């Protein structure tokens, strides 16, 4: 699979994303397992309006990469989730979620729900 040019992109696709119950649980567990200072530093970063609450602006990467929602994993690789920086990586099919989302991360679920 061809790689996406995410480094230096400053997470342009990292906005509010739908998450499932299982994904929410995994993220909660991950945040709880982080050293307190690390989670607070991530929480307190300044982000542009609309940017995902877990986007790590300082290190230019997802702050919860190992437990990011499935839609974040799929982004860039499907016709309905095209990365504008490298559209040719998207294959000729649409992404269809396996599970129904329970809400939108960064809108329905904020830092207060995790820390
Ligand atoms: S998938 Fe594309 S838009 Fe999203 S961070 Fe990577 S390069 Fe940027
Ligand atoms: S969870 Fe991570 S990959 Fe998904 S939108 Fe937020 S920062 Fe980006």
Going residue by residue through the chain, which has 115 residues, state the pLDDT in tens, using 9 for 90 and above: 789 999 999 999 999 999 999 999 999 999 999 999 999 999 999 999 999 999 999 999 999 999 999 999 999 999 999 999 999 999 989 999 999 999 999 999 999 999 8
The DSSP bridge partners found for residue 78 are: 81, 91
E-strand spans in 16-90?
A: 17-19, 55-56, 61-62
Residue 94: its pLDDT value, please? 97
User: Of 77, 84, 70, 80, nearest to 11 (Cα)?
Assistant: 84
Tokens representing 10? Answer: 């400053």
Q: Is the CB of 42 under 6 A from ligand 2?
A: no
User: Of 78, 80, 67, nearest to 33 (Cα)?
Assistant: 67
**39: CA distance to ligand 2 center in Å?**
15
Q: Whose CA is nearest to atom 8 of ligand 2?
A: 14
User: Of 7, 20, 23, nearest to 62 (Cα)?
Assistant: 7
């Amino acid at each position: 699979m061809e790689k996406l040019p995410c480094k230096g992109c400053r997470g342009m696709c990292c906005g509010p994303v739908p998450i499932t119950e299982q994904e929410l649980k995994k993220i909660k567990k991950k945040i709880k397992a982080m050293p307190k200072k690390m989670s607070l530093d991530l929480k307190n970063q300044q982000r542009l309006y609309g940017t995902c609450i877990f986007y790590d602006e300082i290190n230019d990467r997802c702050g919860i990469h190992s437990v990011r929602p499935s839609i974040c994993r799929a982004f860039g690789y499907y016709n309905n989730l095209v990365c504008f920086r490298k559209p040719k990586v998207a294959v000729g099919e649409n992404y269809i979620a396996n599970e129904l989302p329970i809400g939108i991360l960064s809108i329905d679920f904020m830092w207060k729900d995790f820390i």
